[in-house]
Amino acid sequence: MKNTTVLISGASIAGPALALWLARYGCTVTVVEKAATPRPGGQAVDFKGATHRTVLERMGILDEVRRRQTGGHDQTVIDADEKPLAVIPGEFTGGELEIRRGDLAELLYERTKDTCEYVFGDSITSLTETASGVHVTFERGAPRTFDLVVGADGIHSNVRRLAFGPESDYVRHLGYYYALADLGGTDGDNDGAAVMYNEPGRMAAVGGPKAPAFFVFASEPLSYDRYDPEQQKKLLMAAYKGGGWRLPELMATVPRASDIYLDSLSRVVVDRYATGRVVLLGDAAYGNTLGGFGTGLAIVGAYVLAGELRAAGGDHRVAFRQYEEKFRGYAKISKQGSAGPFLAPPTRLRMRLRNWTFTSRFLLRLMLRLTDRFATDIDLEDYRF
């Protein structure tokens, strides 16, 4: 293979998954991550259907994902008096195989840290393409040159901004924010039953094995520093002011939250995945926050991108074209819908309608069949031999 030195920006799911394959195919891989360590946190993420299973199995992590799975737990929708209104079946929220995002990120890091170079606490500041590579400068480290650069740095991708243009050209705000906050014992600490409480335009879910506490609320775009937890705590508390049920008690513990992650529900739409020697992968290219497909798309996308590079002998022009051609159709699910109105319906009527869908076995089966179809809608090639 030519083009064997590859820089990947982002060490969450897409980045380490690609690193795993590229190292196996003989590349020299560097992963740069802005956070100081592999980032913990996040709710459970899920896999469904034969395509996800096959890729996890070929990666050699299927058994370990199964060992760490959380899935299969029902969640009860309650009113302010804790009266049950509906039960969301575990098979709906958890897919076929469910694992906490932080556990999956850690597992992928563990499987690649000895074969790839990881640089934490740094970020790319410029990308300059030459005939033979990409010259890269960093916030902290010395400049280096790589054959290829991959942006696997999420919805707010830094690589996309540097190589394709400003975020406003590619990211659509979907009118909602979500927050995950580790509230200690208050969020159930894995023992309490999983419950979801709604008021028009806001939702709080606590308890159960998917911890931490999970909030979704309707909001216009907010201006804040995504790396400042104190600002995020204040925004969360402001969004839930005056709420019923246990919201005042939960909000009172937010200032002491050991971990918080607050971000918008956004959709990424790019007109192409690659420009020259730079290519996008995962949420950076086809993110749709909480859409339920992000992690599956990242894992399958990494498999196809690495496989196409191998099949093209490292010729990035051929490989990136093939990756886009073969993957765009599969990633179309990311262009549809928004989880916001479903998780936090804007009116009481919409709340009742949403709850009603969980009481209908027919509708549930239909939704499950549809998601299964999207998750398996690709002809997977076997690039390994």
* Interaction site with ligand FAD (CB under 6 A): 9-15, 32-35, 39, 41-43, 45, 101, 123, 152-154, 158, 180, 261, 282-283, 287, 290, 294-295, 298
Distance CA(202)–CA(190), nearest Å, equals 23
Closer to ligand FAD by Cβ: residue 77 or 124: 124
Q: How far is the CB of 42 from ligand FAD (least distance, A)?
A: 3
For residue 75, give both structure tokens: 């969640």
Distance CA(249)–CA(202), nearest Å, equals 16
Closer to ligand FAD by Cβ: residue 42 or 201: 42
Q: How far is the CB of 290 from ligand FAD (least distance, A)?
A: 5
Closer to ligand FAD by Cβ: residue 20 or 180: 180
Closer to ligand FAD by Cβ: residue 109 or 240: 109
Distance CA(15)–CA(168), nearest Å, equals 23
For residue 340, give both structure tokens: 């916001």
Closer to ligand FAD by Cβ: residue 11 or 218: 11
Closer to ligand FAD by Cβ: residue 31 or 247: 31
Q: How far is the CB of 163 from ligand FAD (least distance, A)?
A: 13
Backbone φ and ψ of 146, nearest 5°: -125, 155
Q: How far is the CB of 366 from ligand FAD (least distance, A)?
A: 22
Q: How far is the CB of 178 from ligand FAD (least distance, A)?
A: 8
Q: Which residue is nearest to ligand FAD (CB)?
A: 282
Sheet architecture: strand order including 5-9: 117-120, 28-33, 5-9, 148-151, 278-280, 274-275
Pairing type for strands 195-199 and 202-206 reads antiparallel
Backbone φ and ψ of 197, nearest 5°: -120, 135
Q: How far is the CB of 41 from ligand FAD (least distance, A)?
A: 4
Distance CA(73)–CA(94), nearest Å, equals 8
Closer to ligand FAD by Cβ: residue 53 or 101: 101
Q: Which of 182, 194, 244, 163 is nearest to 70 (CA)?
A: 194
DSSP string covering 268-315: E--S-SEETTEEE-THHHH-BTTSS-HHHHHHHHHHHHHHHHHHTTT-
Q: How far is the CB of 280 from ligand FAD (least distance, A)?
A: 9
